[in-house]
């Protein structure tokens, strides 16, 4: 049975851990607020661009562009957005499980994984998948330049014919308690239909300058950048939300453990006091005898 000294030491250790997890929860909550604001600010732009692309695609008709080329798929690439750090619950596990499901569904193709974040490369190598270029994910200041670094490599692979289809696997953010691993086809680009993009007017109500074909061709690469950038923002917010929830759960568990240890400490102390009283009474009786 543990002594009161051992129990007191365990209470102190668990209390120190609780302080750390509580501090990490507060940091994650502050970063989550900023990440949520960035997601909320970027979504209208992404939605409006999808609407414009839908109207342009209807006006341009059949457009020939390297990013729209549909080929018989023989090789595929999967861009998988994970976290740079752990201590975020099942966030990394869920997104990598969704990526593994996608890769298994295309087992007849040559597959390469392009991990974003430090947690992905090692995990996919251990599973036996080919890992291509890797990219960092700065969770504090993710920028459009980070997305362009990814899209440049993706475009190089696709336009050179090294891969025929590219998927993006990331975690879509709804709330700190609702995070959805999502698969999206990046290439060949699928320009959204105006109805799907929420356009309320027909494309012939717009006047395009220059002509729709040239405008659409110049916007396609930027549309690809926006898709990846939006996915990075969603993933960063999801990571902070998952870490905040995980640290809150850890703090609560530490508090419950401290309560149990305190109860054990009080019982052990009461048992020690009772034993000492019994020894004193026994000694007194022996002296009287």
Residues annotated as part of the active site: 88
Given its phi and psi angles, is residue 80 left (phi above 0), alpha (psi -120 to 50 degrees) or beta? beta
């Amino acid at each position: 049975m543990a002594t009161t000294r051992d129990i007191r030491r365990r209470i102190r250790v668990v209390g120190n851990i609780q302080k750390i997890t509580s501090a990490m929860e507060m940091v994650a909550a502050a970063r989550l607020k900023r990440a949520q604001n960035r997601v909320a600010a970027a979504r209208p732009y992404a939605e409006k661009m999808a609407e414009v692309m839908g109207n342009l695609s209807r006006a341009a008709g059949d457009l020939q562009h390297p990013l729209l080329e549909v080929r018989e798929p023989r090789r595929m690439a999967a861009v998988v957005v994970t976290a740079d750090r752990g201590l975020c619950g099942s966030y990394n596990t869920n997104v990598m499980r969704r990526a593994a499901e996608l890769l298994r569904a295309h087992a007849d193709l040559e597959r390469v994984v392009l991990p974003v974040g430090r947690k992905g490369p090692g995990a996919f190598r251990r599973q036996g998948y080919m890992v291509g270029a890797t990219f960092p994910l700065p969770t504090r200041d993710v920028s459009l330049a980070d997305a362009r670094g990814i899209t440049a490599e993706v475009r190089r692979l696709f336009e050179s014919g090294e891969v025929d289809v590219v998927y993006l696997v990331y975690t879509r953010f709804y709330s700190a308690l609702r995070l959805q691993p999502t698969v999206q086809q990046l290439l060949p680009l699928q320009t959204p239909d105006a109805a799907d993009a929420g356009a309320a007017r027909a494309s012939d109500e717009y006047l395009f300058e220059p002509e729709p074909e040239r405008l659409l061709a110049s916007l396609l690469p930027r549309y690809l950048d926006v898709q990846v950038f939006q996915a990075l923002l969603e993933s960063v917010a999801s990571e902070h939300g998952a870490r905040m929830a995980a640290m809150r759960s850890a703090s609560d568990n530490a508090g419950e453990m401290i309560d149990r240890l305190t109860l054990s400490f009080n019982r052990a102390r009461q048992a020690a006091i009772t034993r000492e009283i019994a020894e004193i009474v026994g000694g007194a009786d022996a002296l009287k005898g």
